[in-house]
């Protein structure tokens, strides 16, 4: 039985561009790999290599200090520098630069595979932390922290393969091509965390992937794993919405999934956990969709983390026409790219190059007509129209009553607004203004 969540929108999916294209490896890896020291939402990591040091594939090159996540070399070669480079999240960030020798020599200090029958929570947390795994669906929070907090406190584990953003098909191809590993990883997590139910959630338009997973379940016995195909609606993939869809439980304001005995892991994260546990591989590669109307040969690719996005685009034949907007992530929540020299990160699931006809034109916003569409579309029960008015009047008391902390920046309000008012940015500005106002009082 599935439930529903409030609000949401139905943008054109545009996934047919890459849906049927298997993941391809790079014919030639880039000459230079850029590993940013800021790889997760927790903060920067600390480098443990320096210029001139040789590195091998899978070798640790940065460790978690008080913040950050471990990072590993995704190619073999030599560290040429540690310097500021363009970051996909914007601006410049310190990064470890590796000159690729194109030999792909593996690191001989790789951790040994663990026995799934004797796997403990402590082993799971330690291995995931050592492997540098973070939330690969956009949260980018250290996964070992979520695992440690969830052990013994949840009854439902949700594997998020909804991938509701338009254009993006990286998780779909991963689910279709690596279903055995994902299933095994999900079952291992369920045993360690002590949950009663495992639900792999995907959207109803991904029937090929659903059939592949069901075949695997019948072949090896699914145990507690259930496949759930849900009607396509954005933002189904958001953590709170997917929990409500699966369980009918609503995460309270300022709450977390643990408050309703749930934990959600992106399907790419579960795949990375499997490889770390049972093959001793740290997180060095990931699936990325390169797509959009401006791309010559859109495709899904399996690429080393740290690959410059410019190299990915060149591998796909470059641009066939002028691009109007380039994003990492989908068009609803993606980040506008400032430089194609920025690298693939652990959370980079796509490079989307849009032409002018593929999105709303950047025209000056009109006046609000109080139609209420933004209120009806907001999955978090917020009222963007009134938040905007309170911000215009700089009314801190009203803003404090609007639960701005619940906004997940999904973009539904901006998408649905007939006046093309950038409401998601308005709510973000209101949140910043409120925090600053409270701090000054």
Interacting residues of 403 by C-beta distance below 8 A, sequence separation 6+: 253, 380, 381, 382
Count Cβ neighbours within 10 Å for each residue of 133-148 and write b for 16 or more, e otherwise.
bbbbbbbbebbbbbbb
Residue 223 is predicted with a pLDDT of 64
Residue 41 is predicted with a pLDDT of 87
Range with the poorest average pLDDT among 73-77, 109-113, 360-364:
360-364
**Count helices and strands in the chain by DSSP H and E runs:** 13, 17
Residue 185 is predicted with a pLDDT of 94
Closest listed residue to residue 284, CA positions, set 51, 11, 55: 55
pLDDT for residue 212 is more than 80: no
Helix (H) or strand (E) segment spanning residue 251: none
For 121-278, give the CATH class: alpha beta
Helices 179-193 and 121-130, axial angle in degrees (round to 10): 130
Closest listed residue to residue 342, CA positions, set 28, 16, 36, 10: 36
Residue with tokens 């990492």: 328
pLDDT tens track for 348-365: 999 999 998 887 666 788
- The CA–CA distances, whole Å, from 285 to 71, 210, 333 equal 11, 24, 23
* Positive/negative CA dihedral, 313, 100, 275, 308: negative
Cα–Cα dist 349/262, whole Å: 24
Torsion of CA 352, 356, 360, 364, to 10 degrees: 120
Cα–Cα dist 259/154, whole Å: 9
Count Cβ neighbours within 10 Å for each residue of 369-391 and write b for 16 or more, e otherwise.
eeeebbbebbbbebbbbbbbebb
Residue with tokens 């950038």: 422
Residue 146 is predicted with a pLDDT of 95
Residue 222 is predicted with a pLDDT of 57
Mean pLDDT of 237-264: 94
Residue 201 is predicted with a pLDDT of 92
Q: State both tokens at 230.
A: 């849900």
Mean pLDDT of 265-270: 97
Closest listed residue to residue 374, CA positions, set 384, 364, 361, 365: 384
Residue with tokens 């049972």: 278
Q: State both tokens at 368.
A: 């609000």
Q: Return the domain boundaries, the chain.
A: 121-278, 373-440
Residue 108 is predicted with a pLDDT of 94
Closest listed residue to residue 16, CA positions, set 287, 291, 324: 291
Q: State both tokens at 48.
A: 């443990």
pLDDT tens track for 16-69: 999 999 999 999 999 999 999 999 988 899 999 999 999 999 999 999 988 889
Q: Are 30 and 310 in contact (CB under 8 A)?
A: no
Mean pLDDT of 199-203: 91
Cα–Cα dist 436/391, whole Å: 13
Share of the chain above pLDDT 90, in %: 81
Residue with tokens 């609803």: 332
Q: State both tokens at 439.
A: 């701090």
pTM for the predicted model, two decimal places: 0.95
Which residue has better confidence, 358 or 309? 309
Residue 232 is predicted with a pLDDT of 87
- The CA–CA distances, whole Å, from 186 to 95, 118, 180, 280 equal 33, 16, 10, 17
pLDDT band at 4; cut points 50, 70, 90: confident
Q: State both tokens at 319.
A: 């641009």
Residue 326 is predicted with a pLDDT of 95
């Amino acid at each position: 039985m599935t439930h529903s969540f409030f609000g949401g929108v139905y943008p054109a999916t545009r996934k047919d561009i890459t849906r049927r294209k298997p993941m391809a490896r790079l014919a030639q890896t880039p000459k230079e790999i850029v590993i940013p020291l800021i790889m997760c939402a927790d903060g920067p990591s600390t480098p443990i290599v320096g210029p001139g040091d040789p590195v091998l594939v899978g070798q640790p090159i940065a460790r978690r200090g008080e913040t950050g996540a471990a990072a590993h070399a995704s190619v073999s070669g030599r560290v040429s520098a540690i310097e500021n480079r363009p970051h996909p999240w914007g601006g410049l960030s310190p990064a470890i630069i590796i000159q690729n020798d194109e030999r792909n020599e593996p690191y001989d200090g790789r951790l040994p595979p663990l026995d799934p029958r004797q796997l403990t929570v402590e082993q799971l947390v330690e291995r995931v932390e050592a492997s540098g795994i973070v939330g690969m669906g956009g949260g980018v929070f250290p996964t070992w922290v979520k695992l440690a907090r969830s052990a013994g406190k949840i009854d439902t584990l949700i594997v998020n393969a909804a991938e509701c953003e338009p254009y993006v098909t990286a998780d779909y191809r991963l689910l279709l091509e690596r279903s055995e590993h994902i299933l095994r990883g999900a079952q291992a997590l369920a045993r360690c965390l002590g949950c009663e139910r495992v639900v792999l959630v995907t959207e109803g338009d991904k029937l090929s992937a659903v059939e592949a997973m069901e075949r695997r379940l019948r072949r090896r016995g699914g145990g507690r794993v259930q496949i759930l195909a849900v009607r396509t609606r954005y933002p189904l993939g958001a953590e709170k919405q997917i929990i409500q869809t699966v369980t009918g439980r609503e995460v309270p304001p300022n709450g977390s999934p643990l408050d309703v005995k749930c934990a959600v892991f992106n399907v790419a994260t579960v795949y990375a956990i499997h490889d770390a546990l049972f093959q001793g591989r740290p997180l060095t590669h990931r699936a990325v969709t390169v797509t959009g109307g401006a791309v010559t040969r859109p495709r899904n690719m399996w690429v080393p983390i740290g690959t410059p996005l410019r190299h990915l685009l060149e591998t796909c034949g470059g641009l066939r026409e002028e691009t109007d907007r380039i994003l990492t992530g989908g068009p609803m929540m993606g980040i506008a790219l400032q430089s194609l020299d920025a690298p693939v990160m652990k959370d980079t699931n796509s490079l989307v190059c849009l032409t002018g006809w593929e999105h709303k034109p950047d025209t000056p916003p009109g006046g609000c007509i109080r139609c209420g569409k933004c209120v009806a579309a907001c999955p978090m029960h917020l009222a963007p129209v009134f938040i905007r008015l309170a911000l215009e009047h700089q009314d801190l008391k009203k803003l404090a009553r609007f639960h701005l902390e619940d906004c997940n920046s999904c973009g539904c309000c901006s998408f649905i607004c007939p006046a093309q008012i950038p409401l998601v940015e308005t709510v973000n500005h209101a949140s910043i203004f409120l925090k600053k106002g409270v701090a000054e009082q």
